[in-house]
C-alpha cells in the first residue's frame, strides 16, 4: 500500500475577481522508501500541493475536492487539532530556506526537544538523547557540543541538516521537502540529496521532493511528476521521463537544459509563458505554446494516458490511443 495517495486534489483561491483554481484534479502516490520528485515552474502549484497535504494552505486557499490518504487514512478534512498531531509526527516538512526556518532565539537543542516532547511522551533527558541521535543521523559533527548552539552559529548546509533532523523528530513515514536545496550551494546540495536518499533507503521514508531543479530530480528522485498550471502533465520513472519525455511540455523543458560540451548560440526555450490562473485557456493549459496542438486540445482537457514503458503517463491527446488512467 502506498504511504501517500492523492486522488483528484483540487485547490481553489476565492478572490474578488472570481475563484482561481490553483490545482486541478491532481492524482499521485508515493510508496514507502520512494522519492517522488515534483517539478514545475513557479506558480505551477507544487508547493501548494505540499502545503495542502499537511493542512497548511494559506487562507483563502482551500481544498475543494479530492482525497488525501496517508497510510490509508483520510486526512483531507481533519480538524486543526487532529491535523496538528499528524504534522511533525507522521509527516515531516522541510522548507526551502534553512537560514530562516529556525527560530533565532532558541538553541537547536531546545527546538528539537520541544518538537519531540510535543509528539512523544518522553522525559527531558530521553528527548535530549533522542535529539542527539537525530543530529548524529543527519551528520552533524560533535552533536553534544552543538546541541546548545544557536542557529546563527551554523552554516547554511548544517542548518538544513538541523531542519531535516527537526522534520525527522518523530519518525515520520512521509517527508515533504519543499525546495530543500535551492538556497544551498552545489556541493552542499549534493550532501543534502545524499542524506535524503539515505533516509528513504534506510528508514523507508516516503519522500515528496518539490523542486524546479531538474538536476536535483535526476540525482535524487525515483519517479517524477511534472506539473503545469496546476495540472499533472506527466508522471513516470525518473530516467524514462528525462530520457524520453512524452508530454510536449516536458520535452520542451528537457530541451531547454543545456548539455555539457554542447556549443550553443541560443538556449532553446518554449515560446510564451505559463498562463495566469485567471486566463487559463480551454482544453489543455499548454495548447497555446504547443507545436502539436490539435483542435481537440483547445476544447477538452486530456486525461492521463499511458505513454511509453514503465507506467510513464502523460496528459496529452497525442497519446489518446493508450490506456487512460482513471
Partner 1 sequence: MINFISKRLIQSLIVMLVVALISFFLFNFVGDPVSNMVGQETTIKDMNALRERLGLNDPFLVQFGRFLGDALHGDFGISYRLQRPVEELIAERMPATLELVFVSAVFAVVLGISGGLFTGLKRNHWFSKFILTSSLVGVSLPTFIIGILLIYIFAVKLNWLPSFGRGDVVKLAGGWSTGLLTLSGWKAIILPAITLALYQMTLILRIIRSEMLEVMRTDFIKFARARGLKSRDINYGHALKNTLIPVITVTGLQVGSLIAFSIITETVFQWPGMGSLFIQAVQFADVPVMSAYLVLVAFFFVLINLIVDLLYFVVDPRLRAEIKG
Which residue, 166 or 224, has its beta carbon nearer to partner 1?
166
- What is each CA distance from 196 to 33, 150, 178, 303, in whole angstroms? 10, 24, 12, 32
Q: How far is the CB of 91 from partner 1 (least distance, A)?
A: 8
Please report, as ranges, the residues that interact with partner 1 according to CB under 8 A.
54, 56, 84-89, 92-93, 95-97, 100-107, 114-115, 118-119, 150, 152-153, 163, 166-167, 169
1 versus 105: smaller Cβ distance to partner 1: 105
Question: Can you say whether the dihedral through the CA atoms of 44, 47, 53, 55 is positive or negative?
Answer: negative
Taking the least distance from each CB to partner 1, the nearer of 14 and 258 is 14
By beta-carbon proximity to partner 1, the closer residue of 117 and 306 is 117
Rounded to a whole number of angstroms, the minimum distance from the CB of residue 45 to partner 1 is 18
The residue (of 98 and 248) whose beta carbon lies closer to partner 1 is 98
Whether the CB-CB separation of 47 and 178 falls below 8 Å is answered with: yes
Residue 63 beta carbon to partner 1: minimum distance, rounded to whole angstroms: 17
CB of 150 to partner 1, least distance (A): 4
From CA 115, how far away is CA 103, in angstroms rounded?
Answer: 13
- Strand residues in 151-309 grouped as ranges (E): 174-178, 206-211, 223-228, 231-237, 304-306
CB of 224 to partner 1, least distance (A): 23
Do residues 22 and 61 lie in contact, with contact meaning Cβ atoms separated by under 8 Å?
A: yes
CB of 97 to partner 1, least distance (A): 6
Query: Can you tell me the distance from the alpha carbon of 46 to that of 55, in angstroms, rounded to the nearest whole number?
Result: 14
> What are the residues whose beta carbons fall under 8 Å from the beta carbon of 160, sequence distance 6 or more?
94, 98, 180, 181, 183, 184, 188, 192
183 CB-near residues (< 8 Å, 6+ apart)? 96, 97, 98, 99, 156, 160
Q: Which is nearer to partner 1, 104 or 141 (CB)?
A: 104
Amino acid at each position: 500500500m502506498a504511504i501517500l495517495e492523492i486522488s483528484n486534489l483540487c485547490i481553489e483561491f476565492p478572490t474578488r475577481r472570481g475563484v482561481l483554481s490553483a490545482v486541478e484534479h491532481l492524482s499521485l502516490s508515493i510508496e514507502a522508501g520512494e522519492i517522488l520528485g515534483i517539478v514545475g515552474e513557479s506558480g505551477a502549484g507544487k508547493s501548494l500541493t505540499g502545503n495542502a497535504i499537511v493542512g497548511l494552505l494559506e487562507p483563502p486557499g482551500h481544498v475543494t475536492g479530492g482525497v488525501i490518504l496517508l497510510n490509508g487514512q483520510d486526512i483531507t478534512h481533519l480538524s486543526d487539532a487532529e491535523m496538528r498531531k499528524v504534522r511533525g509526527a507522521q509527516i515531516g516538512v522541510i522548507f526551502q530556506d534553512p537560514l530562516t526556518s529556525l527560530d533565532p532565539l532558541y538553541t537547536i537543542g531546545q527546538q528539537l526537544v520541544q518538537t519531540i516532547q510535543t509528539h512523544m511522551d518522553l522525559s527531558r533527558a530521553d528527548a535530549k538523547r533522542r535529539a542527539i541521535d537525530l543530529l548524529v543521523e543527519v551528520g552533524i559533527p560533535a552533536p553534544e557540543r552543538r546541541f546548545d548552539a544557536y542557529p546563527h552559529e551554523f552554516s547554511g548546509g548544517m542548518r538544513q541538516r538541523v531542519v531535516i533532523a527537526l522534520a525527522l523528530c518523530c519518525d515520520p513515514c512521509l517527508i515533504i521537502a519543499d525546495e530543500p536545496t535551492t538556497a544551498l550551494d552545489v556541493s552542499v546540495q549534493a550532501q543534502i540529496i545524499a542524506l535524503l536518499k539515505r533516509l528513504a533507503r534506510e528508514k523507508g521514508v516516503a519522500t515528496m521532493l518539490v523542486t524546479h531543479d531538474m538536476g536535483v530530480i535526476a540525482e535524487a528522485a525515483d519517479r517524477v511528476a511534472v506539473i503545469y498550471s496546476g495540472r499533472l502533465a506527466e508522471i513516470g520513472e525518473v530516467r524514462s521521463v528525462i530520457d524520453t519525455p512524452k508530454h510536449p511540455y516536458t520535452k520542451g523543458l528537457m530541451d531547454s537544459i543545456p548539455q555539457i560540451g554542447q556549443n550553443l548560440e541560443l538556449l532553446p526555450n518554449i515560446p510564451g509563458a505559463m498562463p495566469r490562473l485567471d486566463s487559463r485557456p480551454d482544453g489543455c493549459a499548454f495548447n497555446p505554446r504547443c507545436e502539436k496542438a490539435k483542435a481537440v486540445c483547445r476544447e477538452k482537457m486530456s486525461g492521463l494516458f499511458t505513454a511509453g514503458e514503465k507506467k510513464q503517463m502523460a496528459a496529452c491527446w497525442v497519446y489518446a490511443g493508450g490506456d487512460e488512467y482513471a
